[in-house]
């Protein structure tokens, strides 16, 4: 299988999908064993590098709805996409120690796409979560959402989707008066914990 450089914006992979011999890969879980399309809920665990306290497990519930089938040349539109994230008590304690009353942020997430055996690594940008109050103790629930551009395939076959191996957040904790804490805006790199089935759905292209 031919390997070429990673294509990051989701909307730009449509042109690559025309060529059956080309592939873009990322080091993550394969989407080839994904279940049939439709409403999907997937519970996964990531390990995230938190400031002050280091690596912490983070539970994530991915929700999305995929079409069961599309016609070649028509977009595969994913709807109802969200990621419900739960930060544990240690993370909440660390936020309280720096005086954070709220947090907000943006995010990007890797997605694995397999088109007729051609693997593509895609990055979804433009995700985020709104201002969320920090409780006195954990857990802290966050809802990450964002637009998912349609993907258009030009030839019949199947397209399988899986959660990719990496997720990156940019998080801003703020005091009660709205000013940033001493941490400012920090990067939150996360990787999927090994040994999980990250498959989401397989869409038939007629």
- Evaluate whether residue 24 is within a structural domain: no
- Evaluate whether residue 23 is within a structural domain: no
Tokens coding 116 = 């007729």
Give per-residue pLDDT as tens, 46-56.
Answer: 999 999 999 99
- Evaluate whether residue 160 is within a structural domain: yes
- Evaluate whether residue 22 is within a structural domain: no
- Evaluate whether residue 35 is within a structural domain: no
- Quick one: average pLDDT of 122-137? 95
* pLDDT value at 39 more than 80: yes
The total of other beta-carbon atoms located within 10 Å of residue 136's CB is 7
Tokens coding 100 = 């954070």
Q: How confident is the model at residue 127 (pLDDT cuts 50, 70, 90)?
A: very high
In DSSP notation, 132-151 reads EEPPSSS-EEEEEB-----E
- Evaluate whether residue 182 is within a structural domain: yes
List the helix and strand counts (H, then E) for the chain: 2, 12
Q: How confident is the model at residue 23 (pLDDT cuts 50, 70, 90)?
A: very low
Instruction: Name the residue range of residue 171's domain.
Output: 41-116+123-195
Report DSSP state, residue 183: T
pTM: 0.79
Mean pLDDT of the chain: 84
* Cα 66 from chain centre: 15
The pLDDT of residue 28: 34
* pLDDT value at 129 more than 80: yes
Q: How confident is the model at residue 138 (pLDDT cuts 50, 70, 90)?
A: confident
Task: Give the total number of structural domains in the chain.
Answer: 1
- Evaluate whether residue 25 is within a structural domain: no
The pLDDT of residue 42: 96
- Evaluate whether residue 183 is within a structural domain: yes
The total of other beta-carbon atoms located within 10 Å of residue 28's CB is 19
């Amino acid at each position: 299988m031919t390997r070429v450089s990673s294509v990051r914006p989701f909307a730009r992979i449509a042109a690559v999908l025309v060529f059956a011999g080309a592939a873009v890969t990322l080091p993550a879980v394969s989407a080839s064993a994904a279940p049939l399309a439709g409403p999907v809920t997937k519970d996964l665990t990531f390990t995230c590098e938190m400031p002050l306290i280091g690596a912490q497990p983070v539970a994530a519930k991915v929700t999305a709805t995929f079409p069961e089938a599309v016609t070649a040349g028509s977009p595969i539109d994913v709807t109802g996409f969200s990621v419900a994230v739960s930060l544990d008590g240690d993370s909440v304690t660390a936020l309280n120690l720096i005086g954070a009353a709220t947090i907000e942020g943006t995010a990007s997430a890797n997605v694995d796409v397999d088109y007729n055996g051609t693997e593509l690594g895609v990055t979804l940008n433009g995700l985020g979560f709104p201002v969320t109050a920090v409780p006195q103790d954990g857990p802290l629930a966050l809802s990450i959402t964002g637009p998912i551009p349609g993907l258009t395939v030009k030839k019949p076959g199947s397209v399988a989707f899986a959660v990719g191996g990496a997720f990156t957040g940019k998080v801003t904790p703020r005091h009660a008066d709205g000013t940033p804490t001493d941490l400012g805006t920090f990067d939150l790199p996360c990787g999927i914990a090994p040994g999980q089935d990250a498959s989401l759905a397989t869409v038939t292209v007629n």
